[in-house]
Amino acid sequence: MKIIIHGGFFSESDQSHEVKTAKQNSLKEIAEKAFQYLQTHSAFDTVAYAVSLLEDDPLYNAGIGSQIQSDGVIRMSAAIMNGETQKLSGVINIQNVKNPVFVAKDLIDEDDRVLGGNGAKKYATEHGFENFSTEIPQRRKEYEAKLNNGGKGTVGCVAIDKNGKLAVATSTGGKGFEIPGRISDSATVAGNYANEFCAVSCTGVGEDIVSNATAAKIVTRVTDGMSLETAFGKTFAELKAIDGFAGAIGIDRNGNVYHQDSYPTMVFASFDGEFFEVFS
């Protein structure tokens, strides 16, 4: 059993040492909570739980930490994928829910598993998700000043459970000041993909991740026999060729954990019940 989570990027030039320390402590705490949850739950349930904790922390660009778009509105996207069934479900540009990842998870048994905009919100309301504003004062100040938080971000979790089953979940609050209606990678197989061999979650510039089909490429290459490290390396070499900005985390069916970024520093933490690895 292993867990790895990410929370976007950290920029030394735009963010303080205090923010860095806060993210390190937060990621370590969430990774540990998620690992404990994994003891009695499947990988699929656990990745949703872990991502919900990240969505609840305003340090990250998801849930209550989400960015504000150019028209002053927050729209969020999230997805989850079960490696065993190879089913993906997600929401795109949903508004006014606390945890988009849980709405995405609820959709996994539907015939129509990826919903957007008003349809996603209507589904959430009909399935008991309360109306909730994810805007915090800091984000409104940044929007009004036409600034962002210095961290291109998204949050995600990959887990392998005691039965060797893999799952992944990813959630984002956008890049900030984007054109309303923009769709990035988080609710697509480019940013969030899993099968029985490997699971990968991405963060960074959605357009770059989609152009490179990053998560799907890594998982496919591992499925075809590449090692996890080699698959990451080849995929990120292709990302570099288009000057892509991205980071990714992954676990293969043998329990190997790997992470890589194209423009340091992706913030992440992994835990296997004994050893932590936290970004530095």
At residue 152, does pLDDT exceed 80?
no
Range of the domain at 123: 2-278
Q: Which of 119, 150, 13, 138 is nearest to 64 (CA)?
A: 138
Cα 55 to Cα 65: distance, rounded to the nearest angstrom? 7
Strand intervals (E) in the chain? 2-9, 76-82, 87-94, 114-116, 155-160, 166-172, 192-194, 198-204, 246-252, 257-261, 266-271, 276-278
What mean pLDDT, rounded, does the chain reach? Answer: 94
**Cα 156 from Cα 190, distance rounded (Å):** 13
203 labeled part of a ligand binding site: yes
Q: What is the C-alpha to C-alpha distance for residues 130 and 97, in angstroms, rounded to an integer?
A: 7
Catalytic residue among 46, 154, 170, 214: 154
pLDDT digits (tens, 9 = 90+) for 214-249: 999 999 999 999 999 999 999 999 999 999 999 999
Residue 138: how many CA atoms within 13 Å on its side-chain side? 12
Per-residue pLDDT, averaged over 153-169, amounts to: 96
Q: Return the closest-CA partner of residue 8 out of 142, 164, 176.
A: 176
Give start and end residues of each alpha helix (H) in 112-180: 117-126, 137-144
| Per-residue pLDDT tens digits for 74-120 | 999 999 999 999 999 999 999 999 999 999 999 999 999 999 999 99
182 is in an annotated binding site: yes
Residues in the chain, overall count: 280
Report whether 57 belongs to an annotated binding site: no
CA distance 210 to 202: 10
Cα distance between residue 105 and residue 226, in whole Å = 30
Residue 134 annotated as catalytic: no
Provide the domain count of the chain: 1
Chain position carrying tokens 């499925």? 223
pLDDT at 147 over 60: no
Q: Taking residues 173-198, report their average pLDDT.
A: 95
SS3 assignment, position 26: helix
What integer is the mean pLDDT of 57-86? 95
CATH value at residue 30: 3.60.20.30
- Output the CA–CA distances (angstroms, integers) from residue 195 to 31, 76, 97, 230, 257, in the order listed: 22, 25, 28, 18, 15
Report whether 183 belongs to an annotated binding site. Answer: yes
pLDDT band for position 143 (cuts 50, 70, 90): confident
Residue 151 has pLDDT above 50, yes or no: no
Cα–Cα distance between 63 and 53 in angstroms, integer? 9
